[in-house]
Amino acid sequence: MQDQAENLRQLVERLNAPRVVGKPADSRANCRVIAITSGKGGVGKTNISVNFALDMASKGKKVLLFDADMGLANVDVMLGIVPHFNLAHVLTGQKTLAEIITDGPNGIKIVASGSGGVRELADLNDEQRTKFLDALLALQNQSDLILIDTGAGLHRNVLAFVLAAEEVVVVTTAEPTSLMDAYGMIKILYREKKNPIISVIVNMASTQAEADEAGKKLTILARRFLNLEIDYLGFVPRDMAMIKAVKEQKPVILSAPNCLAALSIRQLVDAVLLGKTHKNDGNLAGFFKRVTQIFGSTV
């Protein structure tokens, strides 16, 4: 396992190395990598991820949506799309990265990760590493924003992606159990990351007052017990149009663009796009470097 971890680190070092002699390292594409996560399932995290990606794309951004929910992928279900291949097929040499990318509405690109896909990075030979490196750099160069839809909960497969991202959006509901699970995720981010950049969204809120109270509780808990400032971005109301959209496998941004939920999502996206005040390494290679380092430290 230690040899595999070392192989992983060698790979990601190559990912971060300048590709052309004399070419500045910062000439590589600069894109934001944002993980969207939750402390528990059933809070609408994937729904938020998909609608965020679509609205960001409608605002002129080149968006890659990475489905990192290993073993329980739902991005394709939300979009009514059936990806036949995932990252695991790339790492085993069956497909190229370009071949597994699925086109979605509004021009978004989708990558399904597959079960255990990132761990298989450790087993690549030199030829596979080179091919994967080239494909990864191409993806990076084609994207302004990369949204990582993580699994739910505090499993290490989820935490690897959450801890690796420069920015994290935690989705919760106003229910007490959901809030405590969200706080559990925030505590882990505080403990494991230096200066974590964390935002919170309250989903499926009955009223604005209910949502704002929930958001306030999390910000107060983080400030009082962790000495950590987190951003409460806002909320998405409980909306029958959203429920209908999920059943019909057509995101609410597309199926009911003028409903309350869709309008709220647009406002939240604006807050994310305009609210970047923190320095971020801005590249997919850096993200995968941290993912693989975290996996390496847990084997």
**What is the mean predicted confidence (pLDDT) over 247-253?**
94
- CA separation for the pair 43, 54 (Å, rounded): 19
Q: Contact 8/121 with Cβ under 8 angstroms? A: yes
Query: Which pLDDT band holds residue 20 (cuts at 50, 70, 90)?
Result: very low
**What is the mean predicted confidence (pLDDT) over 91-99?**
79
pLDDT tens digits, 63-87: 999 888 765 667 888 888 878 888 7
Out of 140-149, 251-260, 278-287, give the one with best mean pLDDT.
251-260
Give the chain's mean pLDDT. 81
63: β partners: 145
36: β partners: 149, 169
Residue that has been written with the tokens 């009082």 in this structure: 224
- What per-residue confidence (pLDDT) applies to 126? 63
pLDDT tens digits, 149-172: 988 888 776 787 888 888 999 999
- What per-residue confidence (pLDDT) applies to 22? 37
DSSP string covering 167-188, please? EEEEEE-SSHHHHHHHHHHHHH
- CA separation for the pair 166, 146 (Å, rounded): 11
The boundaries of the domain holding residue 192 are: 2-21+29-298
CATH number at residue 279: 3.40.50.300
237: β partners: 205
- Given a cut of 80, is residue 176 above it in pLDDT? yes
- Given a cut of 80, is residue 115 above it in pLDDT? no
- Classify 192 as helix, strand or coil: helix
- What per-residue confidence (pLDDT) applies to 133? 63
Greater confidence (252 vs 160) lies with 252
Q: Contact 32/282 with Cβ under 8 angstroms? A: yes
**What is the mean predicted confidence (pLDDT) over 191-214?**
95
201: β partners: 171, 234
**What is the mean predicted confidence (pLDDT) over 14-35?**
54
What is the token pair recorded at 266? 């647009």
* Structural domain total, the chain: 1
- CA separation for the pair 273, 61 (Å, rounded): 10
- CA separation for the pair 112, 87 (Å, rounded): 6
Q: For the chain, state the CA radius of gyration.
A: 19
Query: Which pLDDT band holds residue 90 (cuts at 50, 70, 90)?
Result: confident
Give whole-number Cα distances, 204 to 5, 59, 94, 113, 271, in Å: 41, 24, 41, 27, 18
Query: Which pLDDT band holds residue 271 (cuts at 50, 70, 90)?
Result: very high
Greater confidence (234 vs 290) lies with 234
Query: Where is average pLDDT lowest: 27-31, 75-79, 223-227?
Result: 27-31
- What per-residue confidence (pLDDT) applies to 215? 97
Residue that has been written with the tokens 């929930």 in this structure: 214
- Given a cut of 50, is residue 233 above it in pLDDT? yes
At position 278, the amino acid (one-letter code) is H
**What is the mean predicted confidence (pLDDT) over 45-72?**
90
**What is the mean predicted confidence (pLDDT) over 111-137?**
62
